[in-house]
A = this chain, B = another copy of it.
Amino acid sequence: MTSKLPSTSRSLPIALIRAREGVMAPIREMLSETGITEQQWRVLRVLSEYGALDTTTLADRSSLLFPSLTRIASTMRDKGLITQTRDQADRRRQIIDITEAGQKIITERAAQSAQIVADFRITLGDENYETLLDLLAKLDPGSRD
């Protein structure tokens, strides 16, 4: 049994990294004007979409590790982008919500962000774009069939 490794040029992990880099480049460029990071943008996006969330749910939907979210939330609170409140019924839990300042960033960049997404959809074509999302979902253990 030879068990050869695939060439790195056709390696799935590396292909995922490079694709992500290609997709994030214009988004990072946009975010550089706002002073927030890509992860902070994700947190705002999720809060804007779902409303106030407990930390566990927020971490899951933002695809952030829990310890990372603890630190990210701390800096975002200092920036006035989110609020953190203790759940009075269960004081272990914490509820995070977006502030007006946070929502303002999302709103102001919505058009620009949507345009970036639209460009990628055009690059791949509508059908390929949906196919790609479906295939990626199959690699995600959290949503595998």
Contacts and interface: CB of A to CB of B under 8 A. Distances in A.
A7 B133 CA distance: 13
Q: How large is the interface on A (under 10, 10 to 19, 20 to 34, 35 or more residues)?
A: 35 or more
A63 interface: yes
Contact of A17 (B1, B8, B63): B63
Interface stretch (A72-80, A86-94, A95-103, A117-125): A117-125
Question: What is the oligomeric copy number?
Answer: 2
A117 B16 CA distance: 14
Contact of A19 (B18, B128, B140): B140
Interface of A: 1, 3-8, 10-25, 27, 38, 42, 45-46, 49, 61-63, 106, 110-111, 113-115, 117, 120, 123-124, 128-129, 131-133, 135-144
